[in-house]
Each structure stands twice: as structure tokens, then as C-alpha cells.
Amino acid sequence: MTTPRRSAATTFVALVLAGVVGGVVWRLVWTPDVYVVSDGAAGLGEVELARTFTSDAWYLVVAAPLGLLVGLARRRTSRPSGMLDLLAAVVGSAVAAYVMLGVGRLLGPSVLSPAELSGVADGTRLDGPLQLATAVSSEGLGSIVFVVMLAWPLGVLAGWVAELIIPSLEPREVRERRQVGAPGSADHDQSGALS
């Protein structure tokens, strides 16, 4: 595999793995909504209804920093090689968003089906499923777009941009010192060690 392809693959895999970690962390920090069974159906009380956005908030709190960290780390460690890496970062961050959602749902309480609720006594309190509450329906596409899931691509791209901007803000002497000893500079021999 060529270096640009390897770099892009590493970016993609790092994001997917971060999505798995994000899903586990999201499940650990989230408090389930409590549903109350009444007439064979489960519903949220007023207090729980006011808390339904906590899953979205926790998703955002976990996803944005993870995306930012992966974006910074990939820019810092590999010096991405152009459009292929950018494409891997964008696609990988979208996949990471869905992986985090899937892992969180898998580890959280299951969805309450009517068949399961039919034998449950009225007044029983059950933990609700881990899901995102804020969804925007895009009727033209016939799909649901979870707005909060944009935290992944925005976090990754913010990390890339920050890594591009921060070095340019350093004083010239610091940049020159950093370049001394860099691979390919005059003070390196062929083995890559400092002369």
C-alpha cells in the first residue's frame, strides 16, 4: 500500500475506533430516561420529558472532543498527504458518528416494544433506550439526519485546521528550531539519525 493510501486508511481506522470508544463512554455517562407503563404503553412523565435531550448533550460532549483529538493527532503524527486524507477524515468521521450511535444503543437499554409491555403492570417504571432526541427529517431524501452527529466531522476538521494554523502563529525562531533535525534536513544522515 502506498504511503498516501496507508495514511488515509490509518485516519479512517483511527476514527472508527474512536467511534467505538465514544459509544462506550456515551453509554457510561448517560442516565436513562424513565418510562412509566400505562395501559400497555410506556410514556415519559413531565420530568423525564424535560430530560430527553440529555442523551444528545452527552453525545455532543463526548463526540466533539474525540473528533478534535483524532483530527489533531492525525495531523500531528502523519502529515496527511492531500485530498485522499481529507476524504478519509470526512468519511471516517461520518462512520465514527454512526458507530458511536450504534455502540451506545447496543450497550444501552433496548427499545420497549408493545409485545413486551402487554404483560407489564401499570405504574411500572422502566429505563428507556439510548437514542438521539433531536433529529431533523429531510423529506426529499426520505432519511433522518441527526444534527448532533455533525460533532464528529466538525471536531475532526477543527483539529486539522488548528494543526495548520497553530504552527504559523509560532515565532520564526521556534519554527526554525523545529525544522533543525527534521528528516531530510542537513543535520540528518541517511539512516534518519541526527549527525
Backbone angles phi, psi at 35, to 5 degrees: -100, 145
- Model confidence at 23, pLDDT cuts 50, 70, 90, reads very high
CB 101 within 8 A of CB 23: yes
- Model confidence at 141, pLDDT cuts 50, 70, 90, reads very low
Task: With a cut of 60, say whether residue 76 has pLDDT above it.
Answer: yes
CB 36 within 8 A of CB 124: yes
Q: Name the one residue in this structure whose C-alpha cell is 433529529.
A: 135
Q: Which range has the worst mean pLDDT, 23-32, 33-42, 78-87?
A: 78-87
Task: With a cut of 90, say whether residue 8 has pLDDT above it.
Answer: no
Measure CA of the first residue to CA of the last residue in the chain; give whole Å.
31
The residue among 35, 18, 5 whose CA lies nearest residue 130 is 35
User: How many percent of the chain have pLDDT more than 90?
Assistant: 28
- Model confidence at 195, pLDDT cuts 50, 70, 90, reads very low
DSSP bridge pairs for 2 = none
Residue-level pLDDT at 45: 72
Query: Residues of 50-89 as b/e, b for ≥16 C-beta within 10 angstroms?
Result: ebeebbbebbbebbbebbbebbbebbeebebeeebbbebb
Q: What is the DSSP string of 18-43?
A: HHHHHHHHHHHHPPPPEEEEETTEEE
Cα–Cα distance measured from residue 145 to residue 64, given in angstroms and rounded to the nearest whole number = 17
Task: With a cut of 70, say whether residue 2 has pLDDT above it.
Answer: no
**Between 132 and 174, the higher pLDDT residue:** 132
What type of residue sits at position 26? W
* Digit-coded pLDDT (tens) for 40-66: 777 777 777 766 678 888 999 999 999
The continuous run of DSSP H or E covering 191 comes out as none
Residue-level pLDDT at 72: 87
* Digit-coded pLDDT (tens) for 107-132: 988 877 777 777 788 888 888 888 88
